[in-house]
Amino acid sequence: MIRLAREDDIPAIAAIYERIHDREEAGRTTIGWIRGVYPTERTAREALAAGDLFVREAGGRILAAARINRVQVPEYVLAPWEHEAPAEQVMVLHTLCVDPPEAGKGIGKDFVAFYETYARSQGCPYLRMDTNEKNAAARAMYSKLGYGEAGIVPCDFNGIPGVRLVCLEKYLGE
C-alpha cells in the first residue's frame, strides 16, 4: 500500500537513506547522493511537514518513499522541456528511494504508477522528475516507463556540487 507518511515513518525512511549511502560508499550502486548532505532525515521531515511525503508499506515495514508535489526545482527552468506545461498542471516526483534489500521487485515501478495516478487525480497531466546522470538504474527504469530525457542541467543540487541533473518528463494526455 502507498500512503501519506506519518511521523512514526521517519526513522524507517532515514534508515533507507542510510542503507543507500552504505551501498554507494561500498561501490555497490551509483546514485550520486552524499551521506550527511542529501538525502537526510531532515529531507524526510521537511517533506512530511509539507504533507507530500508518501511511503510504500507492506507487512508493517516501509519499503520505499518519495515526495510528490507541484514544486519544480529552480534548475528546471534550464531544461529544454518538450512539453510546455502550465505550472499548475505539473506534478513532480522527488527523492524516490527503495530500500536496497527490496530492489528489483518492482517497487519503484509501482511507486511511479501511483505517482501517475495521483497526478491525474490532481489535474496534472504533465509529469516531471530528475535524477543524477550517474544513476543509470533510475534512468533505465524511467525510460522503460515512458519518461523522456528533456536534457541535462549541470548544477550544484541539494547541496551536492557538480551534479549533471537529468530532467525527465512524461505527458499523460488530457
Alpha-carbon separation of residue 137 from 76, 91, 97, 133 (angstroms) = 22, 22, 12, 10
pLDDT tens track for 131-142 = 999 999 999 999
Q: State how far the Cα of 137 lies from the Cα of 41, in Å rounded to an integer.
A: 24
Please give the Cα distance from 80 to 158 (Å, whole number).
21
pTM of the predicted structure, to 2 decimals: 0.95
DSSP state of 14: H
Contact 79/153 with Cβ under 8 angstroms?
yes
- Averaged pLDDT for residues 125-149: 97
Task: List pLDDT tens digits, range 13-27.
Answer: 999 999 999 999 999
